[in-house]
Amino acid sequence: MNYKVIALVVMCIAVVLAAGCTSTSSNGAMKSVPVPQAAPDYYKGVDARAGGNSIFVSEEGRSVTDSVKVESAGSGVAGGAIDTKIIKTGYVTIEVKDVTGSVEALKSLVVSKNGYVSSSSISEGYNKRLSGSVVLRVPAAEFDATLAGVKAIGTVKSVSTQGQDVTEEYVDLQAQKTSYENQLAQYNQIMKRATNVSDVIEIQQQIDRVQTQLNQLEGRLRYLNSRIDLSTITVSLQEPEPLGGESGPSFISALNEGISGFFGMIYGMIVIALTLLPLIIFGAVVYGIYRWRKGRQPVTAPAEPSEKK
C-alpha cells in the first residue's frame, strides 16, 4: 500500500514537471521582438510578437488584441524592378545675331516639346551688345530633341550635359515613407484604445512628430520627381563682336582715359611719397644732427706767418 502511494506521488510530480516544460517551450516559441516606435512604452502590456503582426494592449485588466499589418521598410520596392532615376541637365552657349528674337524662338521650341520656360533675361553690355539667358524645362524624353533644336538657333560656342543618378536616394526615401506610414497606422490604432487624457496627449505628440517627418519626405520626393520628369536646359545667348573688333576710339573715350590716367599718376605719386616718408624724415634728422655738431666745434684761427730775421 505504501509503495502504491509513493508511486502515485512520483507520477504526480512527473506530470507537474512535464506541464512546466511544455509551458516553457510554448512561451519560448512566441519570441518577443522590440516594440516599434509606433507603440508607446507607457501602455501597460504593449507588445509585438513575431509572426503575429499584432499589437497587444491591456486596458483595465482586459487583454485587447488588434491586428495591425507591419510591413518591412523595403516592401513594395524590393518586390519589383527599380527604374533608374536620372536627373538630366544641359548647358549651352550660342552666338546669335538677334538675342531678342532668339529668346522668342526658344519659347516656341519648348512649348512644342510640352515644356515651359522657367526663367529668361536680356541685358545690354559694353558697346550695346545684347546677351541673354533662358532656362528651359522639358520632359526627359524630349531632352535630346530639345537640345538639338537649341543648337540650331545659332553658332554653338560651348555645350555640356550631365546625368545625375538619384536612384539610391529615391529608393531610400520610398522605404522611409513606408516605415513612417506604418508607424502612423499603429499610433492611430493605439489612439482608439486610449482612455486617459495624458495618454491621448502623448500619442498625439508622437503622431504629429511622425506626420511632420513624413511630410518632409514627401516634399523631397515631389522635388526629385519634378527634376526627374522635367529636364533642365540653360541657354546663354550672346551677339557676335562687330567686324574689325571693337569700335575705334572716340574723343569722349580718349578724354575719359586721359582723366583716368592723370588721377592714376597722382595716386601713384602719393603712394610713393608716403612710402618714402619715413626715410625722408630719418635723413632730415641725421642731417640736422650733423649741422648741430658742426656748429659747436671751435673755429681755429689761421696761424700767422713768422717774420724772417
pLDDT at site 149? 93
pLDDT at site 298? 63
Within 8 A by CB and 6+ apart from 161, the residues are: 88, 89, 90, 91, 147
Q: Are 36 and 48 in contact (CB under 8 A)?
A: yes
pLDDT at site 261? 85
255 versus 211: which is more confidently predicted?
Answer: 211
249 versus 273: which is more confidently predicted?
Answer: 273
pLDDT at site 32? 35
The answer, yes or no, to whether residue 291 has pLDDT greater than 90, is: no
The answer, yes or no, to whether residue 86 has pLDDT greater than 50, is: yes
* pTM, full prediction: 0.52
73 versus 255: which is more confidently predicted?
Answer: 255
Nearest to 217 by CA among 166, 171, 186: 171
Reported as type and span, the H/E element at residue 91 is strand 86-95
Degrees, nearest 5: CA angle 159-236-253: 125
Degrees, nearest 5: CA angle 83-87-90: 145
Percent of the chain with pLDDT over 70: 65
pLDDT at site 213? 93
pLDDT digits (tens, 9 = 90+) for 111-159: 999 999 999 998 887 677 888 999 999 999 999 999 999 999 999 999 9
pLDDT at site 19? 45
Between the two ends of the chain, the Cα-to-Cα distance in Å is 184
| Cell numbers linked to 27 | 512561451
Provide the CB-side half-sphere exposure for 143 (13 A, CA). Answer: 20
Torsions phi, psi of 58, nearest 5? -100, 120
pLDDT digits (tens, 9 = 90+) for 17-70: 544 444 444 343 333 333 344 444 444 333 333 333 333 343 443 333 333 333
